[in-house]
Structure 1
Amino acid sequence: MSEATLTPAELAAELGVSTKTLMNWRWQGIGPRYVKLTPGRSGRIRYRRRDVNAWLVSCAAGAAA
């Protein structure tokens, strides 16, 4: 991947949540978009910086409404 990506641990630290919270958000479909690099239940996950930024903007817009 040539663009900036974050591991779940990196994103969790940045957002101040646990990796388990990110996992729950993925399961519920409410967190930032992610890319699954390997198949299966324990496949490697990465978050694109642009997707995280877009998600943060949408959260802020929803809170302001």
Structure 2
Amino acid sequence: MAAPRSLATPDEVAMFLGLPTQTLAQWRYLAKGPRSIKVGRHVRYRWTDVERWLDRNARGDAAA
């Protein structure tokens, strides 16, 4: 069995995306952005969900 990938904190995801952490908090409130999960009282992100969200929201260079 493959080792599970670690969960990311909002700070880690914000740094990865180059956004303020507060933007992720607002996106969660508005049901936007990458899918988040609650682990107890903590918010976490699966890296696969972040990558999937990026893929869905990528824009092609042909439109430029």
| 2:38 aligned residue | 36
Structure 1 or 2: more helix by fraction: 1
Report the RMSD for the aligned CA atoms in angstroms: 1.4
After TM superposition, the score normalised by the length of structure 2 is 0.81
After TM superposition, the score normalised by the length of structure 1 is 0.79
Structure of larger gyration radius: 2
Identity among equivalent pairs (%):
41
**Runs in 1 of length 4+ with deviation above 2 angstroms?**
none
For structure 2, the 5+ residue unaligned runs are none
For structure 1, the 5+ residue unaligned runs are none
**CA distance in 2: counterparts of 1:44 and 1:36, whole angstroms:** 6
